[in-house]
Chain A
């Protein structure tokens, strides 16, 4: 059999954890090979080994049957291996073109040969349908564009083996569709792809084979066509998972959160990115803001949580006007916030897990006395949360958060925000990057909070999620709430039409 890459009996240990335990993975030429596993199962680690960022403690890597040694990403590059990381590694204030050629610049008399590079990038983006503006700055372009840049980076280096680490976690459903097409195009041109995802639909849609990891061990490799989604998730988690959550009917209580005519202007263009939005959340209900990414959800949430100041409008929590309240006042006043960008806002990555778990409460009498932190309390509490929310890491509460797997970083934020028991929880894509087992758990948690009489404002891009957990759906389009829908009487298709802006409803 002609395998282009074989990773044989790979073992990798980190302090306190065996990230990969005797894992074998074989990649055929021209296939899309999915890698599936719970948060912290060792997927990213295995791929980082292939990309030369870590050295395995045991095991060998073969390319076309020959043993190769990959000491660093440059070696990987020479062997034609490229990687798009879970958290992108682009230089924010460089242009797209500069980022693509970074590290492989060709020069002539010490001058960059930009024109040639540009022509080549344009040619590649044409051939694979990866539209980008070569002169845009990375900080100005959307996440999905940044991802394209990462892909172009690999293609520019003529990589043959492409590793995608959770590429779809940051994309909208539409963008995911496009990425799938691009990936299929790539394999038809003879590239081979390793694809990490938590979404079984995507595996069914594009992958040929799938290798499943659980707690660092390889559970097996299957032909995707021959297994069902249920079987896959059972292989991964070791039990049946049910994402259709049971939800009892419940009359919502009094209004706890009110937004009136909220408007946020874009600083650069002066356009209203949030346009005259009014909404409310009642005790004991989950209100979902559905919309295609970039329709003002982020700005709306930033304004509600105090990260930006709205240009107009009023916000009331439990009857008190909090429009001008500081972030701290809002936090104490009863707003919990699971932010969209977990690494930018949600965590101090260089703090350990315990510190991050008290990031919103370190100043309360429970954790502080006369300005001195009560470490034993902090660690005790952290251990409780780690236990309750099954946050997995190498060294427990003392793990530096940066070293944790992406999904477990997310779980840490969710644990912190839910456990503070806020009256209103604003959750932006809370399940992004989580495995199905964890998603099931989070849904149950959200619904338990709702049943306790808390209000939840959920911002989601995923239709399934929206339909599944919400009690009421508000569709946002170009900064405006264009419809209010009842998930029980609405279809996914209808919701899609509203989100695309081709239909408008009457807003109460």
Chain B
């Protein structure tokens, strides 16, 4: 084989992609198994719906991008914080406060003209999310409070606070949810609805997906190309050595948690300003998009570009899951199946290093294995 091809195949990116793919296959197999157990007669049809549902028509494909948008952002949020060694399990709270800020601006600040309206709504959402990330960041940096614990706390505070705020400011008491935002606050479609539609029925896709992708690229650049990214990764990989090198770990942790929060907040804004008719419901439920960021970040192996694809993949499964209803699967069951596939894929990745070390013996001879394993997600150092 040509040397450069060999090097490409043994490069880290390819190795990571291959292990993500393996993990997804394992996840799918487990999902199939559960389907076979729960409903043997329709299992294969249902499985087919999951696998190909996202592709059946242009509308479904559009829906994939629509569902991918918020989880790409929460995935980026979790992945980014993890680079600094922090496990941001607070994406859910950051997401919902961001969503509220966006909806509030969307409903109330109608004095803002045109594009400025949704633009300002997004910025306010990012600020709100950043604030929700800032607090655990400060607690960690100055009081060494475990980020996982403070994030869980912030999730609940965020959820209840948003419930109170929605009820008192932008409440639609008939539907027990937030009011509709002004049309100027809705993210533009940019013609996407004309491409991704089935007959007369357009999908909910909008420019949000571009914003998510741009966010991914910006995060990639921050992590890989900048001085701050260098410091951030150093803090995540070895806090003692970072201290020795004069890196201000307090500052680094706080800023990275703020950026993580801003990403989640942006995700919340993009979902609720999508113009799909979705509003913030006053329920005592933590926003699931925040938690879905965790498997997305895992599947993307912490790489921002990988996370974009992982988000699209998870959304693809979600859309496929809706199609399972064609085969008489109740929504609860599909949700379980989809969750199983996603989480099993993510878990398979957690065991990647373990699996690798077992395979390494034969592979070693090809000197293909990476000498060191990358730290896997999680771990609040």
Residues A346 and B244 in contact, CB atoms below 8 Å apart: yes
Residues B361 and A402 in contact, CB atoms below 8 Å apart: no
Give the residues in chain A near B233, CB-CB below 8 Å.
Answer: 348, 351
B14 to chain A, nearest CB (A): 15
Residues A400 and B246 in contact, CB atoms below 8 Å apart: no
Of A151-159, A182-190, A337-345, the one contacting chain B is A337-345
Report how many residues on chain A are interfacial, defined by Cβ distance under 8 Å. Answer: 38
B276 to chain A, nearest CB (A): 38
Per-residue interface assignment for chain B, residues 231 to 268, with 1 indicating a CB less than 8 Å from any chain A CB and 0 otherwise: 00110011011111111100000000000000000000
Which residue of the partner chain B has the closest CB to A72?
A: B361
Residues B372 and A350 in contact, CB atoms below 8 Å apart: yes
Residues A339 and B244 in contact, CB atoms below 8 Å apart: yes
Give CA–CA (A360, B247) in the complex, Å. Answer: 9
Question: Is there a chain A Cβ closer than 8 Å to B364's Cβ?
Answer: yes
Tell me whether A359 and B234 are in contact in the complex, defined as CB-CB below 8 angstroms, given that A55-B361, A57-B365 are known contacts. Answer: yes
Tell me whether A362 and B244 are in contact in the complex, defined as CB-CB below 8 angstroms, given that A71-B361, A349-B238 are known contacts. Answer: no
Per-residue interface assignment for chain A, residues 24 to 65, with 1 indicating a CB less than 8 Å from any chain B CB and 0 otherwise: 000000000000000000000000000000110100000000
Of A261-269, A289-297, A367-375, A472-480, the one contacting chain B is A367-375
Give CA–CA (A372, B227) in the complex, Å. Answer: 6
Report how many residues on chain B are interfacial, defined by Cβ distance under 8 Å. Answer: 27
Per-residue interface assignment for chain A, residues 295 to 328, with 1 indicating a CB less than 8 Å from any chain B CB and 0 otherwise: 0000000000101000000000000000000111
Residues B371 and A400 in contact, CB atoms below 8 Å apart: yes
Residues A372 and B367 in contact, CB atoms below 8 Å apart: no
A19 to chain B, nearest CB (A): 11
Residues B372 and A400 in contact, CB atoms below 8 Å apart: yes
Give CA–CA (A351, B225) in the complex, Å. Answer: 14
Tell me whether A362 and B227 are in contact in the complex, defined as CB-CB below 8 angstroms, given that A348-B242, A350-B237, A351-B234 are known contacts. Answer: yes
Give CA–CA (A14, B364) in the complex, Å. Answer: 9
Question: Is there a chain B Cβ closer than 8 Å to A331's Cβ?
Answer: yes
Give CA–CA (A371, B240) in the complex, Å. Answer: 23
Residues B227 and A54 in contact, CB atoms below 8 Å apart: no
Give the residues in chain B near A54, CB-CB below 8 Å.
Answer: 364
Question: Is there a chain A Cβ closer than 8 Å to B288's Cβ?
Answer: no
B85 to chain A, nearest CB (A): 12
Per-residue interface assignment for chain B, residues 198 to 237, with 1 indicating a CB less than 8 Å from any chain A CB and 0 otherwise: 0000000000000000000000000001111010011001
| Interface of B toward A, CB cutoff 8 Å | 225-228, 230, 233-234, 237-238, 240-248, 361, 364-365, 367, 370-372, 374-375
Which 10 pairs, one residue from A and one from B, show the smallest C-beta to C-beta distance?
A: A328-B246, A403-B371, A345-B244, A327-B246, A402-B372, A348-B238, A359-B245, A350-B237, A331-B246, A348-B241
Known: A13-B367, A327-B245, A360-B246. 18 other contacts (CB 8 A): A14-B371, A327-B244, A327-B246, A328-B247, A328-B248, A329-B246, A344-B238, A347-B241, A348-B237, A348-B241, A349-B238, A350-B237, A350-B238, A359-B234, A359-B245, A362-B227, A371-B228, A373-B225
| Interface of A toward B, CB cutoff 8 Å | 13-15, 54-55, 57, 71, 305, 307, 326-332, 337, 339, 344-351, 355, 359-360, 362-363, 368, 371-373, 400, 402-403
19 residue pairs A–B, Cβ–Cβ below 8 Å: A14-B371, A307-B244, A327-B243, A327-B246, A328-B247, A329-B246, A344-B241, A348-B233, A348-B242, A349-B238, A350-B238, A351-B237, A362-B227, A368-B227, A373-B226, A373-B227, A373-B230, A400-B370, A402-B371
